[in-house]
Amino acid sequence: MQFRTLVGLASAGLVMVLHTPGVSAQDNPVVVMETSMGTITIELFQEQAPISVENFLTYVDEEHYDGTIFHRVIQTFMVQGGRFTPDMRGKPGRAAIKNEADNGVNNDKYTVAMARTNAVDSATDQFFINTVDNNFLNNGVRDFGYAVFGRVIAGTAVVDTIAGTPVTNSVPNEAVIIQSIRRR
């Protein structure tokens, strides 16, 4: 479709743009995650979650995620990774960060959030990709919530493939490896 046609449709109110409410796409950092199941591209919400984005990018720049796995996979919930190697040994993480779950961005399908323990400000290197809308993880629904700091902008089929991998006790039967995450 040509640009003029899109402009005409837009001025007539006939073009629907998919976006995450409260997030502006201008100048947001983007990372490319190479996995053993394919490539996932993630836009990071610098304005809404500056602490989480800085933390994540520090791990990216240190190549911390290289060779880690998605160690927790629940098809109708999320896929989680960032710390463990295929032999389930944890890489050392940095200090925990402040939870930014009150940033107005919801845990919608294909958003990326910081994983944490029951302690509100306990997120370090682990993250998860929501595979469905997880409203109960939003700020104030059941507790402080889980900070969304990005969204998948390419590779949603890869996320779905990871989510559908056979598991035992939510651990994939065959390792789903994060080969690398790099800034684009």
Domains of the chain: which residue ranges? 45-183
Contact 173, 69 (CB under 8 A): no
Strand partners, 90: 84
Distance of CA 2 to the CA centre of its chain: 32
Question: What is the model's pLDDT at position 87?
Answer: 97
Q: Does domain 45-183 have CATH number 2.40.100.10?
A: yes
**Tokens representing residue 52 in the block:** 């989480």
**Tokens representing residue 106 in the block:** 């919801």
Question: What is the model's pLDDT at position 11?
Answer: 41
Question: What is the model's pLDDT at position 58?
Answer: 98
Helices (H), the chain: 3-11, 50-61, 156-163
127-183: per-residue pLDDT in tens? Answer: 999 999 999 999 999 999 999 999 999 999 999 999 999 999 999 999 999 999 999
Rank 2-6, 14-18, 169-173 by mean pLDDT and report only the highest.
Answer: 169-173
74-126: per-residue pLDDT in tens? Answer: 999 999 999 999 999 999 999 999 999 999 999 999 999 999 999 999 999 99
Long-range contacts, 42-46 (Cβ 8 Å, 24+): 42/112, 42/150, 42/151, 42/152, 42/153, 43/150, 43/151, 43/153, 44/149, 44/150, 45/20, 45/103, 45/105, 45/148, 45/149, 45/150, 45/151
- Mean pLDDT in residue range 42-60: 98
- The confidence band for 2, taking pLDDT boundaries of 50, 70 and 90, is very low
